[in-house]
């Protein structure tokens, strides 16, 4: 397996496939019910994040009070020289006066973090007045959007979720799907939540229409945290364990019947759910999946819709889609490009998903952040066209990635579907790719690209 090592944390990134931690935190906060964010940041952070959101999240709009409505201290040079706390205090006061919310969360930007404004002093002051408010240090230089999500949720777990000694049987918290960074976050969370509910669980998923602020406050009596990501939200899960004594389990992001079956079995085993219950659920869901697959199988076979594939995506999507293609759809994922900036230990976890494919498909794994370099990796494993009469080339082909891979797909004559960040050429509402039902949508979307040419 050819793998290329890139040095992490010490190089530039071409067209980064992520928000900064402030952006990730802001999208997380605006996804929470009845919550008002307050940025303590330079004036452009709010706009920069919103424009980014516009081109990367499947046209996820501002929502209740995101976008250009987000309260922000808009600190200036003089605040940076003399400290920005007076401005923050004034902004918090006027925000509480003007904006309707049940929870206020202050998020700091680079400027405030570097000058070291003591945000907690402002938080304490308003808490004493009975306002539900906390602050998180989320300046962009702390990391990417995934990190911002983890930072702000960790603080939420620490400051907002009430401590409860007695745990409730079969109640779980669900983490690992990052609002905005995953354009399909709403659909994915709903689909996983519904599956877990069918398993008989009560689920706090923070960001769906079924979640409430009271539900989140009361999440401290869950008996398990289920993380559907090998990487995201681990600090939050760890904080839930430390403070609320809730153990957690880590799973790869599940797409398709093979991965989802393994996921459900693991959850059932951890929670000691009777094996009959999980067996029955898997049976019903598999039947549901094939009820639809059966009737697209005609075209799949008649029109020869098997494809070679290149999969480009973040640590959640890249292995999950590769696995679905290899283990369920019968496609040929020759190259998988993982786009997060991660270290060797983390890479091993991803490699493991691919090494344990049930189809044993020999996918080449590459770790690469930069879009223009993907072509270089591709041509290393795929022989170039020759002028010989007979040539076994990479066709028919498909590229599943972000909208940044469109140019590459056109170049190699492949179909293209945008799934991972940035998602700027698709509209995403309630669609999700997780689980059994989600993978049906993925089949729909992949094959529609091919059928649209007929």
Contacting other proteins within 121-150 (CB under 8 A): 139-145
Q: How far is the CB of 371 from other proteins (least distance, A)?
A: 9
Footprint on residues 232-251 left by other proteins (CB under 8 A): none
By CB under 8 A, name the one of 1, 2, 13, 381 that touches other proteins: 13
Using CB under 8 A as the binding rule, whether residue 29 contacts other proteins is answered as no
Dihedral sign of CA atoms 38, 13, 429, 157 in order: negative
How many Å apart are CA 378 and CA 364, to the nearest integer?
10
Using CB under 8 A as the binding rule, whether residue 154 contacts other proteins is answered as no
Q: Which is nearer to other proteins, 107 or 278 (CB)?
A: 107
How many Å apart are CA 392 and CA 177, to the nearest integer?
39
The number of beta carbons lying within 10 Å of the beta carbon of residue 368 is 18
Using CB under 8 A as the binding rule, whether residue 11 contacts other proteins is answered as yes
By CB under 8 A, name the one of 410, 427, 429, 451 that touches other proteins: 410
Build a one-symbol-per-residue string for 321-360: x at contacts with other proteins by CB under 8 A, - elsewhere.
Answer: --------------------x-------------------
Q: Which is nearer to other proteins, 138 or 260 (CB)?
A: 138
φ, ψ for residue 62, nearest 5 deg: -65, -30
Q: How far is the CB of 423 from other proteins (least distance, A)?
A: 9
Footprint on residues 57-76 left by other proteins (CB under 8 A): 61-62, 64-65, 67-76
| Residues in CB range of 291: below 8 A, 6 or more apart | none
Q: How far does CA 180 lie from the centroid of its chain?
A: 7
Q: How far is the CB of 253 from other proteins (least distance, A)?
A: 22
Secondary structure (3-state) at 16: coil
How many Å apart are CA 434 and CA 440, to the nearest integer?
9
Stretch that binds other proteins, among 45-53, 195-203, 219-227, 260-268 (CB under 8 A): 45-53
Using CB under 8 A as the binding rule, whether residue 294 contacts other proteins is answered as no
Stretch that binds other proteins, among 19-27, 264-272, 296-304, 443-451 (CB under 8 A): 19-27
User: DSSP secondary structure string, 305-372?
Assistant: ---EEEEEE-TTHHHHHHHHIIIII--EEEEEEE-S---HHHHHHHHHHHHT-TT----EEEE---HH
């Amino acid at each position: 397996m050819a793998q290329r090592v890139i040095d992490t944390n010490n190089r530039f990134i071409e067209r980064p496939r992520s928000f900064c931690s402030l952006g990730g935190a802001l999208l997380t906060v605006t996804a929470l019910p009845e919550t008002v964010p307050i940025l303590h940041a330079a004036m452009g952070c709010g706009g920069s994040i919103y424009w980014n959101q516009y081109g990367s999240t499947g046209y996820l709009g501002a929502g209740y009070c995101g976008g250009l409505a987000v309260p922000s201290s808009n600190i200036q040079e003089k605040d940076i020289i003399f400290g920005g706390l007076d401005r923050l205090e004034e902004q918090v006061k006027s925000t509480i006066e003007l904006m309707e919310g049940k929870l206020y969360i202050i998020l700091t930007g680079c400027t405030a973090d570097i000058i070291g404004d003591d945000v907690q002093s402002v938080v304490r002051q308003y808490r004493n007045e009975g306002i539900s408010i906390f602050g998180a240090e989320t300046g962009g230089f702390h990391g990417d959007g995934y990190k911002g999500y983890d930072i702000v949720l960790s603080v939420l777990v620490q400051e907002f979720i009430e401590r409860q000694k007695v745990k409730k049987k079969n109640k779980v918290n669900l983490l690992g799907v990052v609002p905005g960074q995953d354009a399909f976050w709403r659909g994915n969370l709903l689909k996983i939540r519904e599956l877990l509910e069918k398993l008989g669980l009560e689920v706090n998923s923070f960001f769906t229409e079924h979640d409430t602020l009271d539900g989140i406050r009361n999440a401290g009596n869950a008996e398990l945290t289920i993380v559907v990501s090998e990487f995201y939200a681990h600090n939050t899960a760890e904080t839930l364990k430390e403070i609320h004594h809730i153990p957690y389990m880590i799973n790869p992001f599940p797409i398709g019947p093979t991965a989802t079956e393994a996921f459900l079995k693991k959850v059932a085993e951890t929670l000691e759910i009777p094996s009959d219950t999980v067996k029955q659920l898997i049976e019903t869901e598999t039947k549901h999946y094939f009820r639809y697959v059966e009737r697209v199988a005609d075209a799949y076979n008649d029109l020869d819709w098997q494809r070679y594939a290149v999969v480009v995506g973040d640590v959640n999507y890249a292995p999950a889609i590769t696995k679905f293609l290899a283990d369920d759809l019968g496609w040929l994922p020759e190259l998988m490009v993982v786009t997060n900036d991660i270290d060797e230990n983390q890479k091993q976890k991803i490699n493991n998903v691919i090494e344990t494919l049930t189809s044993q498909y020999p996918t080449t794994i590459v770790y690469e952040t930069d879009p223009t370099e993907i072509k270089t990796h591709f041509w290393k494993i795929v022989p170039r066209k020759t002028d010989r009469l007979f040539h076994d080339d990479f066709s028919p082909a498909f590229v599943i990635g972000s909208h940044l891979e469109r140019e590459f797909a056109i170049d190699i004559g492949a179909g293209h579907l945008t799934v991972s960040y940035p998602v700027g050429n698709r509209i995403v509402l309630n669609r999700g790719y997780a689980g059994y039902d989600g993978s049906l949508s993925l089949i729909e979307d992949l094959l529609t690209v091919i059928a649209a040419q007929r």
